[in-house]
Homo-oligomer: A and B are copies of this chain.
Amino acid sequence: MEADKLQKYCGISRNIEESSVNIHPIQRGGVLTSEAKKVLLSFGDGYSMCDYCFEASITKVKKPPVVDFIQDLAKFLDIDEVRPTAGARHAKRVIMEAIAEPGDTVVIDSLAHYTTYISCEAAKLNVKEVPHSGYPEFVLNVEDYATKIEEVEDSTGKLPVLVVLTHVDYNYGNLSDAKRVAEIAHKYGIPFLLNGAYTIGIMPVSGRDLGADFIVASGHKSMSASAPIGLLGATSEWAERVFERSKIKGDWSGRTFGAKEYHILGCPPVFGPSLATLMASFPKVVERIKHWDEELEKACYFSDNMQKIEGIKQLGKKPKEHTLIHFESPSFHEIAQHHKRKGFFLYDALKKKKIMGVHPGLSKSFKVNVFNLSWEQIKYVVESFQEIAELYGITVH
């Protein structure tokens, strides 16, 4: 390898947060707090949380107070036991591996993130989807969980091993009734996994109130933490299974690893910026979910005013119950057909106004997330979209 060609890797940089209003659909909840930024440098090194590890587990470290933090995370999720993982997807994978056998079936919502599907695939499980209502609202009929559970039993002779609900989905930002899904799952004696990647750290969620047996959360998606870090929460009933301690024994050496929880591969290797930023952001995260009402007010304002642009229509449930918003925009798409930059015209026009996060090239439909933007920013973004529309001769009502 030629040394001079490698130098470009040192020069990577990014200043989107500092220079723009970022409305990227998957980024808003992961933007670091100022407190998190402060700890980034001091905990940047690989094993920087492990200086005082006395019990062979990052979750037991007292300095910094990880051991207390893990307890507080459990209180925050309102579930008995919590472990950090390398992301929500790893948490889902662990649950499936721990409680299912190859060939078993998992009932999932058809709005689920792709990682729910491929976690099942990796664990050699079949999926049975609960349908949604389709265009334009894409609403999950949670009562269908019962139907689907019974269909699985009828066709395989065995109940599904797990019921999964994506609390808020990644595509339309629809909030589903988790409590009702839990009731249905429990009626059949099936454990219920709530995927809170888009809700935990953003809005109030109580595992206990909702009846979740498992919760997964994402630090980098919704808890203002550096990637990758997720959370796996379990009730005490299930914790023994998913956090089962290692029993393997070296046949020659006799070595054993009884302190290690083997499904999560022992210490989740989050012992640098991931865990440090999750901790440092936590007090603000605990505080911010109390103001969810105002976030929704801003989301509704944003959606309503975007829809004053001719042809712009919000997809998903109305009024908004989450800050992730999907719009279809045939009027923008019409412009793109005749523009020399095609669909990129929208990205270009927004960039000129220092608004980043709409996927470059998209004009037919696009997603944004307005979480944690100020009213001033919300208004600025809406007005900018309206100005761009007018510039291209689209009526704004």
* Residue ranges of A at the interface with B (Cβ–Cβ < 8 Å): 1, 3, 6-10, 12-17, 24, 26-27, 29-32, 35-48, 50-52, 54, 64-65, 68-69, 72, 75-76, 86-87, 89-90, 93, 97, 102, 110, 114-115, 117-122, 127-131, 219-221, 224-228, 230, 246-248, 250-253, 255, 257, 260, 262-263, 265-266, 268-274, 276-277, 279-280, 282-283, 286-287, 356, 360-361
User: Which residue of B36, B39, B110, B361 is within 8 Å of A255 (Cβ)?
Assistant: B110
Complex: A7 Cα to B274 Cα, angstroms: 18
Q: List residues of chain B with CB within 8 A of the CB of A356.
A: 51
Complex: A119 Cα to B94 Cα, angstroms: 12
So how many copies of this chain end up in the complex?
2
User: Which residue of B24, B52, B128 is within 8 Å of A47 (Cβ)?
Assistant: B24
Verify A360–B86 contact, CB threshold 8 A: no
What are 7 contact pairs spanning A and B, CB under 8 A? A13-B39, A14-B64, A27-B50, A36-B44, A45-B226, A89-B266, A102-B102
Verify B51–A227 contact, CB threshold 8 A: no
Verify B225–A46 contact, CB threshold 8 A: yes
Closest to A92 in B: B265
Verify B72–A286 contact, CB threshold 8 A: no
Complex: A260 Cα to B220 Cα, angstroms: 20
A31, A48, A72, A247: which has the most chain B beta carbons within 10 Å? Answer: A48
Known: A6-B283, A120-B248. 20 other contacts (CB 8 A): A6-B282, A9-B279, A10-B38, A14-B51, A24-B51, A26-B50, A27-B45, A30-B45, A30-B46, A36-B44, A37-B41, A45-B220, A46-B221, A97-B122, A117-B250, A127-B248, A131-B253, A226-B272, A227-B270, A228-B274
User: Which residue of B31, B50, B260, B265 is within 8 Å of A93 (Cβ)?
Assistant: B265
Verify B227–A272 contact, CB threshold 8 A: yes
Q: List residues of chain B with CB within 8 A of the CB of A272.
A: 220, 226-228, 273-274
Chain B nearest CB from A74 CB (Å) reads: 11
Verify B97–A90 contact, CB threshold 8 A: no
Verify B46–A27 contact, CB threshold 8 A: yes
A65, A128, A227, A263: which has the most chain B beta carbons within 10 Å? Answer: A227
User: Which residue of B8, B76, B276 is within 8 Å of A12 (Cβ)?
Assistant: B276
Given the known interface contacts A228-B270, A262-B121, A265-B122, the answer about A42 and B65 at a Cβ–Cβ threshold of 8 Å is no
Closest to A282 in B: B9
Complex: A12 Cα to B277 Cα, angstroms: 10
Verify A250–B110 contact, CB threshold 8 A: yes
Chain B nearest CB from A336 CB (Å) reads: 16
Verify A64–B12 contact, CB threshold 8 A: yes
Verify A42–B14 contact, CB threshold 8 A: yes
Given the known interface contacts A45-B32, A228-B272, the answer about A117 and B54 at a Cβ–Cβ threshold of 8 Å is no
Closest to A263 in B: B122
User: Which residue of B12, B52, B286 is within 8 Å of A39 (Cβ)?
Assistant: B12
